[in-house]
Amino acid sequence: MLKIVIPGIELYDEEKEEFITTKPQTLHLEHSLVSLAKWESKWNKPFLTKDNKTYEEIIDYIRCMTITQNVPEDTYRLLTRENIQQVIEYMELPMTATTFSNQKKTPSRDVVTAEIIYYWMISLNIPFECQKWHLNRLLTLINVCNIKNQPKKKMSKRDILNRNKALNKARREALNTKG
């Protein structure tokens, strides 16, 4: 969970001709499958693409990430560049100690949406409580499950011949035969 503080600022209300001072606001955010699904259901497009997002889309994703209750809508307009940078850095964190070696880095052509991730969770028997985890941690768990569930690699012809040769030799010795 990320905790950001939106600083208080002083504004001028032209209608009332007076200055207004806002109080600092603390938001608790979680980059999760739940927030991803909320955003995609509103915008009707995938979030996890390399396409650039508009400022409005980014602010709305932060709104979808918000766990804090009863946040006034105006609060999101007061987000600073530093606040947004904090959120982006938090979203990029792995949130796990698991790393992958010898992993092919070829980009997938498949578009990953919230429903695809839910499908992966269902097919891998990952409990739905994990939908509230940091999204990168959940995707790492899915990757680990896929790796661990892969069938063992087939033996090469040479390995099969060597194994059979050793088995035959052991049987000849055990049965005291020559062939």
pLDDT one-digit tens code per residue, 96-144? 999 888 666 555 678 999 999 999 999 999 999 999 999 999 999 999 9
| Residue 107 confidence (pLDDT) | 56
Neighbours of 165 (CB within 10 A): 10
For 32, phi then psi, to 5°, come to -135, 175
Rounded CA separation 134/137 (Å)? 5
**pLDDT of res. 103:** 62
pLDDT given for residue 109 in this prediction: 74
| C-beta of residue 67 within 8 angstroms of C-beta of residue 31 | no
Cβ atoms 76, 4 nearer than 8 A: no
Q: Is the distance from CB of 76 to CB of 62 less than 8 angstroms?
A: yes
Q: Which two tokens stand for residue 85?
A: 């940078």
Enumerate residue ranges in the chain where pLDDT < 70: 102-108
* pLDDT the model gives residue 47: 96
Q: Residue 13 belongs to what H/E stretch?
A: strand 10-13
Residue 38 phi, psi dihedral angles, 5° rounding: -60, -45
- The angle, 0 to 180 degrees and rounded to 10, between the axes of the packed helices 114-123 and 33-43 is 140
Which amino acid appears at position 142 of this protein? Answer: I
Q: What is the pLDDT of residue 164?
A: 92
